């Protein structure tokens, strides 16, 4: 399903294999946590796992190699279990700290809080805000002459929020080509099937009508990374990667 430029073929498969093994370990941790009664939005967390791994395990690192500062915002903050479990896998937090999830004095709150864990620069979970925050960071970076890019993970149910589309129009109007949105198109939201709540399709056409470059991929690690590589080559407009399907059975 990936729609890519020729640059997409230049994947380092050894690196991808390492990431895939880490994803498999994180998935097992998530399943174990869910059995230990920590099952907060577990389906959403698992659906987001490949996207989080691609952003933190590939995209940020590749930007660093090129001298580009890259920031990730998790707008669908209810997938925080996937984020924290990934951070434990890469030794940013201790694995045993995961058991404190959502406790009153824990820094691992149900929705990520800025400043409590390295890499979380904005408190999220109030749906619809993440893309606007990304726009602000991206615009300020351009005004200050800083080579900085922002990726924001959105839920497909989150697209019900009108602020998402205001932010989409703003990013296009300002030609914020240092913004890339990734939509976790798992077709479900808290109340049920997305198309039974509010119709999202044709989603690709909606983003295009707002002036965004659209890339469509399946929810597997290689395809998401190829999508990010393709987005790198697009200049003059914001990019959105629509990630279709579930990453794992659950």
Number of domains the chain contains: 1
In a domain, 1, yes or no: no
Q: What angle do CA 86, 248, 35 make, to 5 degrees?
A: 65
In a domain, 211, yes or no: yes
Residue 155 has phi, psi (to 5 degrees) of -85, 155
pLDDT at 9: 41
What is residue 132's three-state secondary structure? helix
pLDDT at 103: 84
pTM of the model: 0.90
What CA–CA distance (Å, rounded) separates 117 from 103?
15
What CA–CA distance (Å, rounded) separates 232 from 59?
10
- Report residue 107 CA to chain centroid gap: 21
In a domain, 167, yes or no: yes
Domain of residue 86 covers: 6-244
Which tens digits make up the pLDDT trace of 59-95? 999 999 999 999 999 999 788 899 999 999 999 999 8
Give me the CATH number covering residue 25: 3.40.50.970
pLDDT at 149: 98
Please identify every stretch of the chain with a pLDDT value under 50, giving residue numbers as ranges.
2-10, 248-250
pLDDT at 78: 84
pLDDT at 220: 94
In a domain, 30, yes or no: yes
């Amino acid at each position: 399903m990936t729609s890519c430029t020729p640059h997409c073929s230049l994947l380092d498969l050894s690196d991808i294999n390492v990431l895939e093994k880490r994803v498999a370990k994180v998935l097992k941790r998530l399943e174990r946590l869910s059995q230990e009664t920590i099952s907060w939005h577990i389906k959403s967390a698992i659906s987001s796992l490949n996207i989080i791994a691609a952003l933190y395990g590939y995209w940020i690192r590749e930007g660093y190699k090129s001298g580009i500062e890259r920031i990730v915002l998790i707008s669908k903050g209810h997938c925080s279990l996937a984020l924290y479990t990934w951070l434990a896998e890469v030794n940013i937090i201790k694995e045993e700290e995961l058991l404190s999830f959502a406790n009153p004095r824990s820094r691992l709150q149900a929705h990520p809080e800025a400043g409590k864990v390295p890499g979380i620069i904005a408190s999220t979970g109030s749906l619809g805000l993440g893309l606007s925050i990304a726009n602000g960071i991206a615009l300020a970076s351009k005004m200050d002459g800083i080579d900085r890019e922002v990726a924001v993970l959105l839920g497909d149910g989150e697209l019900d929020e009108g602020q998402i589309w205001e932010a989409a129009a703003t990013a296009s109007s300002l030609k914020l080509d240092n913004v890339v949105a990734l939509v976790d198109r798992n077709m479900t939201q808290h109340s049920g099937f997305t198309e039974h709540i509010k119709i999202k399709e044709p989603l690709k056409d909606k983003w295009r009508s707002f002036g965004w470059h659209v890339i469509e991929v399946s929810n597997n690690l290689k395809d998401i990374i190829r999508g990010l590589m393709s987005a790198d080559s697009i200049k003059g407009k914001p990019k959105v990667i629509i990630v279709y399907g579930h990453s794992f059975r659950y």
